[in-house]
């Protein structure tokens, strides 16, 4: 992390940076996606190798939840059910304590539309095919840290971009923010965010399905920037140029950037 931030972002992570280790380094992932292929006449599932072509067969993934590995073993035992799988088909395995382990192949729909994740603020409904934090133990540490930060700032307005199922906007609303607005392109995730707000009894959070670049500019133009906290949780590719220019133009007083890719985060912060 220190090397990436210094090399890409020219950011020295000396004083003032707090690195928190994950509670567990094995069997933590609640979702994995495996490619399928026939090897020696047998259907196999695995990850694509570093050459970008060959499949590395996986029978037990060391970082996946035990329940996912148990389900993967069942998939191998039922190999004939996957005989028609195309070489580029993907097997998705996802687990939550409430719903158990689920599987689906490319072109299929999961047996459950919504899955429930247990978080520090309560149960959060997430569309099975939408993104949520894959390491829930670490995620709850992150949620607690963000709640503490927001409680210290107590912003009048929070804008949560790439909000998914609304977890950060909901945390903000429960931690002293005047109001929270979540923006997300995925309409199914936005519906689950609204459901989560209703279930938790939160009236000060609202959610809109829209491209974040357009919505952010419109909202930032109409709010008190000195009272605004911007929360960013972009996909692995980071923030695009349009949104970066919007943020630099409006300059909200506070910003929290969450990322699963230190490299793109360092790149964006350098801007």
Active site residues: 260
Angle formed at CA 42 by CA 36 and CA 44, multiple of 5 degrees = 25
Instruction: Retrieve residue 229's tokens.
Output: 């906290």
Distance CA 93, CA 91 (A): 7
> For the chain, where are the E strands, in sequence order?
31-39, 42-48, 55-57, 90-96, 100-105, 114-119, 122-127, 157-161, 179-184, 205-209, 228-232, 254-257
Instruction: Retrieve residue 129's tokens.
Output: 């095919």
Distance CA 95, CA 149 (A): 30
DSSP character at residue 162: T
Q: Please, which residues have CB within 8 angstroms of residue 38's CB and are 6 or more apart in sequence?
A: 44, 87
Contact 226, 250 (CB under 8 A): no
Q: Would you put residue 258 in left (φ > 0), alpha (ψ -120 to 50) or beta?
A: beta
Segment (H or E) for 196: helix 187-200
Instruction: Retrieve residue 158's tokens.
Output: 């929070």
CA 239 → CA 28, 208, 230, 234, 242, distances in Å? 27, 19, 13, 6, 8
């Amino acid at each position: 992390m220190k090397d990436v931030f210094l090399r890409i972002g020219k950011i020295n992570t000396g004083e003032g940076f707090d690195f928190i280790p994950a509670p567990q380094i094995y069997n933590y992932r609640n979702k994995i996606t495996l490619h399928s292929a026939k090897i020696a006449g047998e259907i196999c599932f695995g990850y694509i190798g570093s050459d970008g072509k060959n499949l590395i067969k996986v029978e037990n993934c060391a970082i996946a939840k035990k329940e996912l590995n148990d389900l993967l073993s069942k998939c191998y035992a039922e190999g004939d059910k996957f005989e028609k799988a195309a070489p580029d088909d993907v097997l998705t395995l996802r687990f939550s304590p409430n719903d158990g382990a689920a599987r689906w192949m490319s072109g299929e729909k999961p047996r459950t539309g919504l899955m429930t994740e247990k978080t520090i603020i309560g149960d959060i409904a997430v569309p099975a095919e939408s993104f949520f934090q894959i390491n829930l133990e670490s995620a709850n540490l992150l949620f607690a840290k963000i709640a503490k930060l927001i409680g210290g700032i107590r912003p009048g307005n929070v804008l949560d971009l790439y909000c998914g199922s609304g977890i950060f906007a909901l945390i903000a609303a429960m931690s002293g923010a005047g109001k929270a607005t979540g923006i997300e392109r995925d309409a199914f995730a936005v519906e689950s965010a609204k459901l989560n707000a209703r279930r938790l009894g939160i009236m000060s959070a609202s959610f809109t399905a829209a491209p974040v670049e357009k919505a952010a500019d419109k909202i930032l133009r109409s709010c008190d920037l000195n009272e605004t906290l911007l929360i960013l949780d972009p996909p692995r590719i980071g923030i695009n140029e349009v949104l970066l220019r919007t943020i630099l133009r409006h300059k909200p007083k506070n910003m929290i950037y969450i990322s699963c890719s230190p490299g793109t985060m360092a790149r964006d912060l350098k801007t």
